[in-house]
Chains A and B, each alone.
Chain A
């Protein structure tokens, strides 16, 4: 273990085997210390950023039905919905009046939506001053199928409509063993990475996410990190990494998973991500994932960003989790942790120091 610590201390890259060892046996505070060292090398100031955004889910109809998801509905379900472009514009205007700068837009995989819906969505919403941060790789894959187009062609169309950044959802755990078990109908690891690679080639910056705390092993987590690190070496198109812990209520997977993610588990993942993803600029800690308290502590475990102050959030709420905070609260929380809060854009430029 000492050898691995030393490597990290010297800012050397660690390999998957070392990553697994670190995750299994690394000392909690030593992980934090090393992660923090890297954080301060990459971001020498004590600024911690976050973004004001809204999370709009244009439909909850989804044909893949992942076992961890409490959000999706079948077409015939009473509470199934799809928002029209006009609905979306209204939602954005409403959010804009609350001061948000970005709309994170994602939805279920609804095969009945025409290809034009997605292009219209981006085109119409981009007319406002709110930044449109839309679609994860599974949605891009669905668009390819609906339009009978290649990934490149879809990105060309979306770019023309105004898309410049994309969230990193649908990654869950990027290993086939896990995906087969929790989301067999969702796109494969290779396809997820292929779509991200193409997005980056088209100049569309994306984030990468991970949902942990269910059936994955330490090896799965490191493989996940390793795959996105490899792609980042190639494209440099990921702007940030975000880990979410699995929420167990109202979903199939939750009935099977006995463990629950502790604050320590979460902080270790944040630290390991900061250490392993040496080619990522930003690591997010989410106050919404484990609560404000653990989010605050995460700023000492390698995270340099507090994620977003979501005005609307539906997916986790369906899984029995709700955390609310105002801009002031997040800013205070950052200050109390000993850092300086700043609002940022989707591509991590500072808009305003608070």
Chain B
């Protein structure tokens, strides 16, 4: 149990840990101490506050030309459950939400035929109908695709989207930055360099973004650690990340079903904690309850997370892969879940401005 003492000293002195330390943490069986280390960083940054947002997820299409092997969500186009939402459908969906919604989180497949104008219309229409809602839309993978659709470079695409009203960007499509894994599971997806370039440009243009890691499939511990250090460096060089979200892989309904068991809770908590420890230059770490389940998500608040995402409305991607978590949680449930864990719930907007503190 003493093998984490040196790491604790570094953390107490606000020093970054190195690759070897990170390996030790993932190998250690002292789960509680790992939690304490991560939580001590969380306390320094956000004290007892835990954030949630009243939001709505929109997955505008499940058609996708990328066809990643870990994905249960995509369709080719002729299946009965293939769908694409028109702009009016999206506006209608958001209009169903009660008053006070702060953020729409929009990600979708790489649609084979929709033109770039569809995405610009999407953003500007949402902004027109719901001027107070933060439009958090499109992963770096989608931005790269729009660049191909439009003939614009990344900066050109992002400038157009910003002009249309894009406020911020989610952190998806990062998966694991390892080339080895990418070639095996998502060869059609952009590599790290391009993902990083999109985020760096977004940050330069004043578009804050998030970052993710999809773990629990064929990646190694070293690949997880490398991913986190890459993000730390990227934030140092091109600051603008708001939040990091580790995502655990759900194998059901994917080609990996039966070959891989869903990652276990102890590993989920360790990776969450390690993220908080390595990414000490990220303001927030999220315990995304949709993927972790509300129970482990709640425990995750003691493992360095200071955010539990939001009410979400109807999430489709993880549930396509067999996630058993509810499709949405009410605001009251969010507040109770955070309070029950011993923290102070804070409703935030998309940019972490505090809306209400529930003492």
A: residues with CB less than 8 A from B are: 27-29, 32-33, 36, 46, 262-265, 267, 290-294, 296-297, 300-301, 332-333, 336-338
Contacts and interface: CB of A to CB of B under 8 A. Distances in A.
Nearest to A301: B32
B267 interface: yes
B97 interface: no
Contacts of B337: 262
Interface string B238-270: 000000000000000000000001001111010
A262 B295 CA distance: 7
Contact of A336 (B32, B264, B298): B264
B266 A29 contact: no
Given A33-B33, A46-B29, A262-B340, A332 B261 contact: yes
B295 A290 contact: yes
A294 B300 CA distance: 12
Interface string B263-288: 01111010000000000000000000
Contacts of B302: 28-29, 264
Contacts of A333: 264
Interface string B13-48: 000000000000000010111011001000000000
B264 A300 contact: no
A74 to B, nearest CB: 36
Nearest to A329: B261
A297 B295 CA distance: 11
Contact of B296 (A27, A32, A263): A263
B269 A297 contact: yes
B36 A29 contact: yes
B36 A293 contact: no
Nearest to B261: A332
B266 A264 contact: no
Interface of B (DSSP majority class):
helix
Nearest to B27: A338
Contacts of A296: 264-266
Q: Nearest 5 pairs between A and B by C-beta?
A: A293-B265, A338-B29, A263-B295, A336-B264, A300-B31
B264 A293 contact: yes
Contacts of B341: 28, 262, 264
Contacts of B35: 29, 32
A222 to B, nearest CB: 19
A263 B340 CA distance: 10
Contacts of A265: 340
B293 interface: yes
A264 B299 contact: yes
Contacts of A27: 342
Contacts of A263: 295-296, 298-299
B312 to A, nearest CB: 19
Contacts of A292: 265
Contacts of B266: 296-297, 300, 336-338
Nearest to B342: A28
Nearest to B303: A29
A262 to B, nearest CB: 5
Given A33-B32, A264-B341, A297-B299, 13 more contacts: A27-B342, A29-B32, A263-B295, A263-B296, A267-B299, A290-B295, A292-B265, A293-B293, A294-B296, A297-B269, A300-B32, A301-B32, A336-B264
A292 B302 CA distance: 19
A263 B295 CA distance: 5
A105 to B, nearest CB: 32
A293 B31 contact: no
Contacts of B267: 336
B261 A33 contact: no
A291 B31 CA distance: 19
B36 A33 contact: yes
Contacts of B39: 29
A202 B43 CA distance: 54
Contacts of B29: 46, 338
Contacts of B298: 262-264
Contacts of A262: 295, 298, 337, 340-341
A239 B192 CA distance: 55
A272 to B, nearest CB: 15
B340 A291 contact: no
A264 B340 contact: yes
A261 to B, nearest CB: 10
B10 to A, nearest CB: 19
A315 B341 CA distance: 29
Contacts of A264: 298-299, 302, 340-342
Nearest to B265: A293
Contacts of A336: 264, 266-267
B121 to A, nearest CB: 42
A297 B340 contact: no
Contacts of A267: 299
Contacts of B299: 263-264, 267, 294, 297
